[in-house]
Structure 1
Amino acid sequence: MRSDSSSYDRASWGLKLAAWAGLLFLHFPILIIFIYAFNTEEAAFSFPPQGFTLHWFSVAFARVDVLESIKLSLQIACLSTLIALVLGTLAAAALYRRDFFGKEGISLMLILPIALP
């Protein structure tokens, strides 16, 4: 068992900086879109945004096609979650109770990310 104070358990500053830079690179466009969603200007590409409004949300949610799309997305998300839950539970039960060809390989793939430093 490793102690939490060992030096190899902690990432270097360069690795932390690279990870944060990657996260910022991936999330920055989402932040810009989020900011522009509250813009009061009709011209979408004016920077900085001229004001704060919720008008565009009322316009979007007044459209039937947007509401139908949200409803369909939620239905698909619920159905896929239910299917993943059932299949994952059955797979876990099979791994726990039965011996079959490839069980050790599957178990190794599941345990390996936890065991690596």
Structure 2
Amino acid sequence: MRSDSKKPKPEKQAEQASLGLRIAAWGGLVFLHFPILIIFLYAFNTEDAAFSFPPKGFTLKWIGVAFSRPDVLEAIKLSLQIAAVATLIALVLGTLASAALYRRDFFGKQGISLM
């Protein structure tokens, strides 16, 4: 006797991005982060090899010079204060928005929830 029991279908796998999209995404990330990497490398370069690549030598002199300047310290302090205030504002507004999204049904709710 033949069994007609069907095998359960596996759940639909998430669609993977195409190769072109993955290459474009990685290319964008490299494009955005490459200048930061170059600045990071040159921040530890010695003075006599300032414009050579790859950097020759290693020093923390320029980090010490930057942190010894009062205007740089004030800029860092101000940046941290602004970041703290922006974080608190985002936390309050995000919490209120999530509560509103949870309680009300409206057109586009799924799209906003997806973001």
RMSD between aligned residues = 2.3
For the residue of structure 2 that corresponds to 1:104, the secondary structure is: coil
Question: Normalising to structure 2: TM-score of the pair?
Answer: 0.77
Aligned to 1:104: 106
Asked if residue 3 in structure 1 is aligned to residue 12 in structure 2, the reply is yes
Counterpart of 1:49 in structure 2: which amino acid?
Answer: P
- Structure 1 gaps, min length 5: none
Closer, same or farther in 2 for the Cα pair 1:111/1:92, shift >3 Å?
A: closer
- CA radius of gyration, larger in: 2
Aligned equivalents of 1:95, 1:24: Cα separation in 2: 36
Aligned to 2:3: none
* Structure possessing the higher relative contact order (Cα contacts under 8 Å, 6 or more residues apart): 1
Question: Normalising to structure 1: TM-score of the pair?
Answer: 0.76
Aligned to 1:78: 84
Closer, same or farther in 2 for the Cα pair 1:31/1:40, shift >3 Å?
A: same
- 1:52-106 Cα distance to aligned partner (Å, 9 max, x none): 1111100000011111111110111011100111111122223333x5xxx6145
Aligned equivalents of 1:75, 1:42: Cα separation in 2: 37
Asked if residue 65 in structure 1 is aligned to residue 74 in structure 2, the reply is no
Aligned equivalents of 2:84, 2:75: Cα separation in 1: 14
Whether contact under 8 Å (1:38, 1:52) holds in the other structure is yes
Between the two proteins, the alignment pairs up a number of residues equal to 106
- Structure 2 gaps, min length 5: 1-10
Structure 1 runs (4+) deviating above 6 angstroms are: none
